[in-house]
């Protein structure tokens, strides 16, 4: 059965000790290519993880990725990307709205200085901007709570 090794931790520990991949492979009794594959994120057997753990003088479970932690990290990254996209779309909408206000004001002043002819389109666009902002806040709060 293959286990997902924590490649980042293994590489970091190896580099902190100033070991080459060859040196780690020799200490663990593994092939150089095996160490390279593990550091590239490929799965490892239980025996391989135990050999690496012995070389680092730690428990083998510290070298394996916890599936729950990995799932939580993936969800956190996905939620952050969603929040970022929603924020960007809101800023784009607000920029367009600012330009729209200027254009609507210009049109209305060109038609008549007594009556704001573009009142209703501006009211509906303002409603859309408020709804977009409310959606952004709701999504930010909802995905923020999911990250905890």
- For every one of its 148 residues, what pLDDT tens digit does the chain have, with 9 covering 90 and above? 567 888 889 999 999 999 999 999 999 999 999 999 999 988 888 899 999 999 999 988 888 877 777 788 889 999 999 999 999 999 999 999 999 999 999 999 888 878 888 999 999 999 999 999 999 999 988 887 655 5
| CA angle 19–25–27, rounded 5-degree value | 75
Domain residue limits, the chain: 2-63, 67-146
Helix ranges (H only) for 1-118 are 7-16, 21-28, 32-39, 46-56, 67-111
Identify any residues that bridge with 64 across adjacent strands, giving them in sequence order.
Answer: 5
**Which superfamily is assigned to 2-63 in CATH?**
lambda repressor-like DNA-binding domains (1.10.260.40)
Extract the tokens encoding 137: 């806040």
Residue 68: C-alpha distances to residues 75, 88, 106, 129 (Å): 10, 30, 57, 38
pTM as predicted: 0.59
């Amino acid at each position: 059965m293959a286990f997902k090794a924590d490649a980042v931790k293994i590489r970091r520990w190896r580099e902190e000790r100033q070991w080459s991949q060859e040196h780690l492979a020799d200490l663990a009794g593994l092939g150089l290519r095996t160490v390279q594959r593990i550091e590239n994120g490929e799965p490892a057997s239980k025996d391989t993880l135990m050999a690496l753990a012995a070389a680092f003088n730690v428990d083998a479970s510290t070298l394996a990725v916890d599936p729950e932690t990995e799932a939580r990290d993936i969800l956190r990254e996905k939620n952050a990307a969603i929040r970022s996209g929603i924020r960007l779309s809101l800023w784009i909408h607000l920029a367009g709205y600012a330009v729209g206000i200027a254009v609507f004001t210009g049109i209305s002043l060109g038609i008549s200085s007594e009556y704001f002819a573009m009142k209703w389109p501006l009211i509906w666009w303002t409603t859309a901007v408020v709804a977009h902002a409310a959606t952004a806040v709701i999504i930010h709060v909802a995905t923020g709570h999911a990250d905890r």
